[in-house]
Amino acid sequence: MKFDNFTAWLDEAAGTIGAHSIACLRMDHPLLRERVGANNELVAEWLKAGTHGEMDYLERMFPDKSDPWKTFPFAKSVLVLTFTNQWGDPAATHPFPAPASGAPLGYVSAYAREQDYHATGQAMLAELKAMLGEGIQCEAAVDTKPVYERLFATTAGLGVVGANDLLRVPGRINTRVFIGCLFVDAELPEVIRAPKMPFRCDDCLACVKKCPTNAIEFGKPIAARRCISYLTIEKRSVLNRAEAEMIGDWIFGCDDCTNVCPPKDQIDTRIPIDLEWLLKTPAGEVRRLIKGNATAYAGVTQLRKNAVALLKKKSSSPDERELLQWVSKKTGSELIRDQLTAW
């Protein structure tokens, strides 16, 4: 492809594939190596302190994340894009049935609306690769490969990292975006954006104040073991009573820190889940329903474990107590049985 006015080409490409923004960073950019080195020190300390909880994959991926030049040895440039997947859009759809009247409820994060963001991002990067033309080696990464996505995005000028450790981007202002990276073996023209944010995070701190578990501290990595998203998605073992109290009414993710960025009149875009439906519907049926949805990453047993923990700490009505009794008799999951008797 010709590289005349590559900035305009990237802007047009973003519109074509449905991305919010795209930048291009050269892998030999001196600031990239400096920032990766500094970030490696922070991550190493974070891992050493055990703050990552049960996310053992972060330890396994750290050596590859810490040296992208070795992990992607062919790459001379990286195209970094941001996209929304309709996160926060009240019109976005989801696969879950409407709860029955009076049913016990749990909630799923708004980012689980539409299809799984990994699939959306991969499709966008595949389209971007095709637009680059034949004969170019590429490797796409959307959250599942060893890449410091936020670091690449900020170095490329797509936004700034908010107090909640998520990327804020101009145009949307908030932190409800995902990041994709396309590592390319061509020496593409560098296009580094200049994000103009209407306010600084340290002038706001709404996400810090809103976090119900004090998992967010400005200028520091998230205390994952206190984060509701970690507790409901990544912690695969039994929740103790304190952790069950921390998750509130959530069974997958949390919207508290993203919903207040920026401070505004709030729209409740959580997904309400009928817990009786979740616990009594055959697992295969639920699994088929959530296939292609972000909640499939957690899986049916994890969602049900969280539902049991939520019901156990409440069990304020006869119906809720009866539902727990039904689960105790019918479940074939050792994890759910352990959660039933945990406290």
Ordered per-residue pLDDT tens for the chain, 343 residues:
566 799 999 999 999 999 999 999 999 999 999 999 999 999 999 999 999 999 999 999 999 999 999 999 999 999 999 999 999 888 899 999 999 999 999 999 999 999 999 999 999 999 999 999 999 999 999 999 999 999 999 999 999 999 999 999 988 767 899 999 999 999 999 999 998 888 888 889 999 999 999 999 988 888 999 999 999 999 999 999 999 999 999 999 999 999 888 877 677 889 999 999 999 999 999 999 999 999 999 999 999 999 999 999 887 788 899 999 999 999 999 999 999 999 9
Q: Which residue from 187, 241, 238, 243 is spatially nearest to 213, judged by alpha carbons?
A: 243
pTM of this prediction? Answer: 0.93
Instruction: Tell me what pLDDT residue 2 has.
Output: 60
Instruction: Tell me what pLDDT residue 1 has.
Output: 58
Instruction: Tell me what pLDDT residue 146 has.
Output: 97
Neighbouring-strand partners of residue 23? 80
Place of tokens 């292609």: 292
Instruction: Tell me what pLDDT residue 219 has.
Output: 84
How buried is 112 (Cβ within 10 angstroms: 0-12 exposed, 13-18 middle, 19+ buried)? buried
Q: Which residue from 115, 142, 114 is spatially nearest to 128, judged by alpha carbons?
A: 142
Q: What is d(CA 257, CA 246) in angstroms, rounded to the nearest whole number? A: 14
Catalytic residue from among 64, 67, 89, 143: 143
Q: Which spans in the chain are helix H?
A: 6-17, 30-48, 56-65, 68-71, 117-132, 149-155, 206-210, 228-229, 241-246, 256-259, 275-280, 283-290, 300-314, 318-330, 334-340
Report the amino acid identity of residue 34: E
Q: Is 256 a catalytic residue?
A: no
Do residues 233 and 225 touch, judged by C-beta distance below 8 A? no
